Amino acid sequence: MSTNADRRVALLTLGCARNEVDSEELAARLADGGWSVTTDGNDAAVVLVNTCGFVAKAKQDSIDTLLAAADTGAKVVATGCLAERYGQELASELPEAHAVLGFDHYPDMAARLDAILAGETISSHVPRDRRTLLPITPVERRTAQVVTPGHLPAHLRGVLRQRLDSGPVAPLKLASGCDRRCSFCAIPAFRGAFVSRTPDEVLAEAEWLAANGVRELVLVSENSTSYGKDLGDPRLLEKLLPQLAAVRDIVRVRVSYLQPAETRPGLVEAIATTPGVAPYFDLSFQHSSEPVLRRMRRFGSTGRFLDLLDSVRRLDPAAGARSNVIVGFPGETREDIDELARFLTEARLDAVGVFDYSDEDGTEAATLPDKVPADTVKKRYDWMSALAEELCAQRAGDRVGSIVEVLVDYIDEEVVEGRGAHQAPEVDGSTTLVAGAGPDPATLRPGDFVRAKVTESVGVDLVATPIEMISPAGP
């Protein structure tokens, strides 16, 4: 039997905010099983790496993290998306890992780590298409008994999660999986079909997060616009947002991962006008040329996307908007990339993530003809990245002189850093608060919510002076 000192696990999280939620669920499960959970990879008996398997760079980062963990002398366990996606193949290519565990291992992860610590051999995960585990009809999925990370079963709802970050913002999972069939994306195959969490479960977790110091909720999923369709109400998110914004001590709710083709006028209005909800639109455009979008098995065009953004700005001219785009998709022509450049120039987005296309195992796009040469992909990536950086800096400059509501995220010596409503954590710019006529930034604390005037822009980042306190952080 191992001692308490032996049962220390370092939980390292890579990838997106959805993975952060999954890690905090794992942390709660492990703590409930008697493990001491930390995020420090040193002096741990086991290092559990929640990997990302989205694109080539993310996969390599996951492997590098696993190899670095092995150098500490701890037992190393891979879980998360890369482990779920490749399972035994990853185990055979990475002998440094003592186990490769998938999502189905999450409910008894503490017992699995006990066995690994005791020197037992755990069979590695065998990958399967998780879409096949749930009924095709969304409304029939509610009663299916399938392990879905971030969806705690009823007997564990009292545990919820164990926070691994003490900051004032936290992701909150609305749903998991995806029913879309984008030709470049492998996520549905290893994350499964779309499943919503019930509103009462989401609200209960929101209240728990607020009681644990969270001030801003970031709603995450693979596709937030689909929320509720499997619960019999495709407009459920519009109804849930005011309830989340009304949770005690929550000052801001932010929605992420919107699909443009599913973004209904009612949802646009709810996000743009509901008090306490950030007027922020994280829209997954991916491209704007119709021929490329069709090959991607997506819908839309430059005109339709600009109309969507216009509908947002008619409700709130200062609303934030961001997106990701892919360049170099098979068959993409110079005319297509010029059309994408035209769209970005007219869209006035606050942030744009640019990705260079690469084949993903098991996707339709990997089999498409007319691959764009690698050197051309790089040139287009460099050009589009530079254009996006310039355009987003111009958009930030347009905000000079405006009033923004800033949540203070952290204070590093004399630097007070926060975010306006148009700035999501990690992926967008930030706002630095400096002394002016209002409250002294030196008196602020993480979690304070202040109104400020923008005095300067630096790239996508803003500099602002506080005007007044809207809501102070709790004790």
- Feature table: binding site for [4Fe-4S] cluster: 16, 52, 81, 178, 182, 185
Among candidates 385, 357, 383, which has minimal Cα distance to 371?
A: 357
- Distant-in-sequence, close-in-space partners of 143: CB < 8 Å, separation ≥ 6: none
For residue 429, give both structure tokens: 């710019």
**Coil, helix or strand for 10?**
strand
Cα–Cα distance measured from residue 418 to residue 401, given in angstroms and rounded to the nearest whole number = 17
Cβ-count burial 252-289 (b if 16+ within 10 Å, e if not): bbbbbbbbbebbeeebbebbbebeebbbbbbbbbbbbb
Give the separation between CA 235 and CA 204, rounded to whole angstroms.
20
Chain centroid, CA 81 distance in Å: 13
Separation CA 311–CA 273 (nearest Å): 12
Residue numbers belonging to the annotated binding site: 16, 52, 81, 178, 182, 185
CA Rg value for the chain:
22
The partner residues of 233 in beta bridges, in order of sequence, read none
Q: What strands lie across the sheet with 320-327, from one edge to the other?
A: 280-282, 320-327, 351-356
Q: DSSP for 161-218?
A: ---S--SSEEEEE-EE------TT--HHHHH-S-EEPPHHHHHHHHHHHHHTT--EEE
Q: Report the DSSP pairing between strands 415-419 and 431-433.
A: antiparallel
Residue 402 tokens read as 């405006």
Q: Which of 462, 412, 413 is nearest to 433 (CA)?
A: 462
Sheet holding 99-100, edge to edge: 36-38, 8-13, 46-51, 75-80, 99-100
